[in-house]
Amino acid sequence: MLNENIRAIRKSKGLSQEELAIKLNVVRQTISKWEQGLSVPDSDMLISISEVLETPVSTLLGERIAESKIDDLKVISEKLEVINLQLAQRKAARQKRLHWFFISLCAIIVMAFAVLIALNSLYLGWNYADPETAVVGVGLHAFEWLFVRIAPIILVGAIVGIILTRKKA
């Protein structure tokens, strides 16, 4: 197993026996003997081989490593196609959620403006001699003041968002 794995990984990395031997500071015949199963590297050399081949020692000692085939490439391309389809579906779903968020934001802002117009700032006629009434009145006035200045900007941004996230035909 070790001999087959060393050979398969070396070839997959595009190294010749001579190139691997140079990187490990051994002669080419040593690599040949390992790959033929005539000898086995010691533990220190096994670690060096794993570093040079950028492969864990467990992989070198483990199961047989099959060389890549055309069928393997076909399976990989099919998996990539499925992943791409899933990513496209996620992107479309995210865009749809964002689109409906902007529509909801516009609706909320328009309804809030309608409520403020209908109430016609009732708090302005309140008796502010009572401290609790004064605090609530000032709070409502501050909210209305901020809302009237910030909401149009947010509304324009939401409309732009609706336009940018609409489904293109």
- As a whole number, mean pLDDT of residues 152-169 equals 90
80 inside domain: no
Distance CA 141, CA 139 (A): 5
pTM of structure = 0.50
Residue 70 has a pLDDT of 61
Report CA-CA distances (Å) from 32 to 27, 35, 101, 106: 9, 5, 66, 74
Q: What is the pLDDT of residues 55-114, one digit of tens each?
A: 888 888 875 555 555 667 777 888 888 888 999 999 999 999 999 999 999 999 999 999
The verdict on 51 and 108 lying in the same domain is no
66 inside domain: no
74 inside domain: no
Distance CA 110, CA 165 (A): 20
| Neighbouring C-beta atoms of residue 4, cutoff 10 Å | 14
Name the residue range of residue 137's domain.
Answer: 85-165
104 inside domain: yes
Residue 66 has a pLDDT of 54
pLDDT at 168 over 80: no
pLDDT, mean over the chain: 87
Number of domains in the chain: 2
Residues in the chain: 169
- What DSSP character marks residue 13? T
68 inside domain: no
94 inside domain: yes
Which CATH number does the domain housing residue 44 bear?
A: 1.10.260.40
62 Cβ contact partners less than 8 Å away, ≥ 6 residues apart: 1, 5
**Among the three residues 61, 93, 108, which one is the final residue of a domain in this structure?**
61
70 inside domain: no
The verdict on 95 and 129 lying in the same domain is yes
Q: What is the pLDDT of residues 114-137, one digit of tens each?
A: 998 888 888 888 888 888 889 998
The verdict on 103 and 35 lying in the same domain is no
Quote the crossing angle between the two packed helices 43-52 and 17-24, to the nearest 10°.
Answer: 120
Beta strands in 2-120 (DSSP E): none
The verdict on 105 and 147 lying in the same domain is yes
Distance CA 86, CA 19 (A): 43
The verdict on 54 and 102 lying in the same domain is no
| Neighbouring C-beta atoms of residue 115, cutoff 10 Å | 9
69 inside domain: no
The verdict on 22 and 54 lying in the same domain is yes
